[in-house]
Amino acid sequence: MQSAQETGVEKCSAAFITERGLCQQIYCHGELLSTFTMRKFLVTGGAGFIGSAFVRLLLAEFPNVCVANLDLLTYAGNLDNLAGLDQKGHEFIHGDIADAAVVKDALDGCDTVINFAAESHVDRSIANSSEFLRTNIVGTQVLLDVARKMGIKRFVQVSTDEVMGSLPEDSSEYFTEESAFAPNSPYAASKAAAEHLVRAAHHTFGLDTVITRCGNNYGPRQFPEKFLPLMICNALNDECIPIYGDGRNVRDWIYVDDHCRGVLAALEKGRAGGVYNLGARNERRNIELAESVLAVLDKPRSLLKFVADRPGHDRRYAIDPSLAESELGWQPRETWESGLAKTIEWYQTNSRWIERVRNNEYREYYRKQYGTQGGS
Ligand code: NAD
Ligand code: TYD
């Protein structure tokens, strides 16, 4: 291979930060050959379910992208979720968003932060909320402070519809961006607190922020503590499926890649200080979901097991995504049928992934959470 000197191309001709990111200009004998913009994003929580899908999306959408992926690799973080990525544009950093020194290093050269890192499971927050307060609240504030000091151009906070509490059943009420905050679980309360901190960083310090609020995601690589992958993994092993309460609670389900495209649209086109609800107009009762999974896998209804309800269980979530549709030009692509089929097929063909995440730690969690009532 010829060196830069031999080809006449001057090594590292010029590089400077522009509105769009790091701009590099390549010169040959003083003549400008080409200019390209390299964007560098900091994605936090990028070894988790949604964060890893977002990293894949960024690498696919932007030819000259650099993605720094900061993740603490908690029980929910999994390097297997990043298998097969083009490592050229991807740098994995093992670290904590609540550690300012780590965040400062990770942000070097970045222009944008997308914060997915969180403790994300409601049941775990009911059992013990301390990590939820540390990561979701303190961690978000640390990220905001360092991002501001380093002159980051845009900060995207990935939030949840759960900050708005529960809607009445069988009503035509929906969550909008104007809905009042009414978080009911420690998880939802910690995400609501994080949103307040993001809002304050925008209002007080002028940090360019955007908040997205999404409903229940489903798709490949979701940790099987959450309802849909738990059902799929259990049913594949002919184990019982625990249904909380009467099974008539409603959630608004969206395929993970559609959510990620919504986050990207908000990053690119969202108003500074804006909030966008992302949803696929796909309300389903839990029992209906369970029956769909059994039908696709051809498993008997006798696997369903009604168990004690979750304390404070929100009855219904339903999102009005009109603002994101009109302002961001975003719309989900997957139907419920196509998304569910893809999801189930992924779990059917990735038994090794399932085996590795259903390790002793997971089994201990499962035993504590469900006792004998939800087990096999
Ligand atoms: P997940 O639990 O699968 O992944 C969370 C990731 O964050 C893991 O990789 C974990 O290792 C990492 N992490 C945790 N604490 C950290 C810390 N202190 N520092 C760095 N990394 C840390 O969660 P998910 O389902 O992918 O959710 C991602 C985000 O989307 C969360 O902010 C969640 O609140 C939000 N959200 C999730 C859903 C959903 O249905 N799963 C819906 C709406 C919003
Ligand atoms: P989950 O996946 O935990 O998401 P969230 O609580 O954030 O909506 O739960 C989705 C729904 O499924 C919720 O109504 C609780 C219910 N559920 C069960 O019925 N059984 C289970 O074992 C789990 C984990 C959840």
Tell me the average confidence (pLDDT) per consecutive run of 10 residues in the chain, 376 residues long.
Answer: 41 47 56 67 98 97 92 98 92 98 97 98 98 99 98 98 96 97 98 99 98 98 98 98 98 98 98 98 98 98 98 98 98 98 98 98 97 61
DSSP 221-285: T--TTSHHHHHHHHHHTT--EEEETTS--EEEEEEHHHHHHHHHHHHHHPPTTEEEEE--S-EEE
What is the domain partition of the chain in residue ranges? 12-38, 40-221+255-283+314-336
According to the model, what pLDDT value does residue 88 have?
87
Sign of CA dihedral 243, 245, 246, 252: negative
Report CA(119)–ligand 1 centroid distance (Å).
6
CB 89 within 8 Å of CB 59: yes
Q: Verify whether ligand 1 is closer than 6 Å to residue 160 (CB atom).
A: yes
Pocket of ligand 2 (CB under 6 A): 122, 216, 226-227, 230, 242-244, 249, 251, 286, 310
Residue 290 CA, closest ligand 2 atom number: 19
Q: Which CATH architecture has domain 40-221+255-283+314-336?
A: 3-Layer(aba) Sandwich (3.40)
Per-residue pLDDT, 38: 64
Report which residue type is found at 165.
Answer: G
Is 108 among the catalytic positions? no
Instruction: Pick the ligand that lies closest to the CA of residue 54.
Output: 1
Report the pLDDT value the prediction gives residue 302, as an integer from 0 to 100.
98
- Looking at residue 220, its pLDDT comes to 98
pTM: 0.93
The residues with which 283 forms a beta bridge, in sequence order, are 252
Asked if 162 is an active-site residue, the reply is yes
